[in-house]
Amino acid sequence: MNQPAPRRVAVLVSGHGSNLEALLAAGPGYGFEVALVASDRPGVRALEVAAAAGVATAVVDFAAHAGDRARFDLVLRDVVAACRPDAVCLAGFMRILGPGFVGAFGARIVNTHPSLLPAFRGAHAVRDAIAYGVKLTGCTIHLVDEQVDHGPVLLQAAVEVGQDDDEASLHERIKALEHRLLPEAVALVAHGRVRLDGRRAHLT
Ligand code: GRF
């Protein structure tokens, strides 16, 4: 019997790429392949991870589009669309995407955020959670809309904040959860197994 073709996933990165590594490792088991890795900056480790795995890479350098966010969105949109993705995954991608990008891929863009949304949106979620003194935080895997860290929640998991945690130790435990949940959520989206009822995502 022929296996169905794996679903195609484009992954956007900005840095270290541990979530990309998790996607590459789990993809075959979930029936998807990473078809493209695109970065908003050159020289990041995530691009090396992609190249080592034999995955096509692209750099759409945000700095080269200085001041023209809308143009950056459209260039990135075209690069990603060219790989005909079933899902787009933001895996440590540190840019806010505007309507030019988000509108092109509908409810097929997945982001991972290192807090239990709607708490601690933004770029310093782990630091902010420690400073606030919460005893539980975690990660949220959600669909992307045009507001920051806002779209419908797909999966969440919690970790306890220890008395002695600092940003690095807590983030490390949160990342371990992200590495498990992000491939699962990407597979659900890529296989069309998410049905939206307003903000509520029903996973089938
Ligand atoms: C993740 O914790 C993600 O939620 C946050 O940045 C981190 C990226 O890690 N936005 P990596 O580049 O996947 O290792």
Location of structure tokens 């996933």: 9
Angle at 87 between CA 11 and CA 55, to 5 degrees: 40
Distances (CA, A) of 194 to 67, 125, 127, 180: 35, 26, 31, 18
Please report, to the nearest 10 degrees, the dihedral formed by the alpha carbons of residues 20, 22, 24, 28 taken in order.
Answer: -150
Note the pLDDT tens digit of each residue in 52-101: 999 999 999 999 987 799 999 999 999 999 999 999 999 999 999 999 99
The pLDDT value given to residue 1: 59
141 within domain boundaries: yes
Residue 16 alpha carbon, nearest atom of ligand 1: 12
Q: Find the DSSP H helices in 82-113.
A: 99-105
Residue 17 alpha carbon, nearest atom of ligand 1: 12
CA 29 to chain CA centroid, Å, is: 19
Task: Print the domain residue range for 74.
Answer: 7-195
Q: Which of 16, 113, 179, 202 is catalytic?
A: 113
Question: Residue 57 Cα, ligand 1 centroid: separation in angstroms?
Answer: 18
85 CB-contact burial (10 Å; exposed 0-12 / middle 13-18 / buried 19+)? buried
Contacts of 179 (CB under 8 A, 6+ apart): 18, 19, 21, 22
34 within domain boundaries: yes
Number of domains in the chain: 1
Answer whether 46's CB lies under 8 Å from 39's CB: yes
> Could you tell me the pTM of the whole model?
0.97
In this structure, the residue with its CA closest to atom 14 of ligand 1 is 18
- Is residue 113 part of the annotated active site? The answer reads yes
Statement: residue 35 has pLDDT above 90: yes
90 within domain boundaries: yes
Q: Are strands 194-197 and 200-203 parallel, antiparallel or unpaired?
A: antiparallel
In this structure, the residue with its CA closest to atom 7 of ligand 1 is 92
204 within domain boundaries: no
Answer whether 177's CB lies under 8 Å from 186's CB: no
* 97, 112, 179, 186: residue to mutate for ligand 1 pocket, most atoms within 8 A of CB: 112
Distances (CA, A) of 108 to 41, 62, 103: 23, 23, 10
Pocket of ligand 1 (CB under 6 A): 15-19, 46, 91-92, 112-114, 175, 178
* 16, 45, 126, 181: residue to mutate for ligand 1 pocket, most atoms within 8 A of CB: 16
> What is the CB neighbour count within 10 angstroms for residue 77?
20
Note the pLDDT tens digit of each residue in 16-26: 999 999 999 99
* 19, 110, 121: residue to mutate for ligand 1 pocket, most atoms within 8 A of CB: 19
Altogether, the residues listed in the chain come to a count of: 204
User: For the chain, first and last CA: distance in Å?
Assistant: 25
CATH number at 70 reads 3.40.50.170
Q: Mean per-residue pLDDT for 94-123?
A: 96
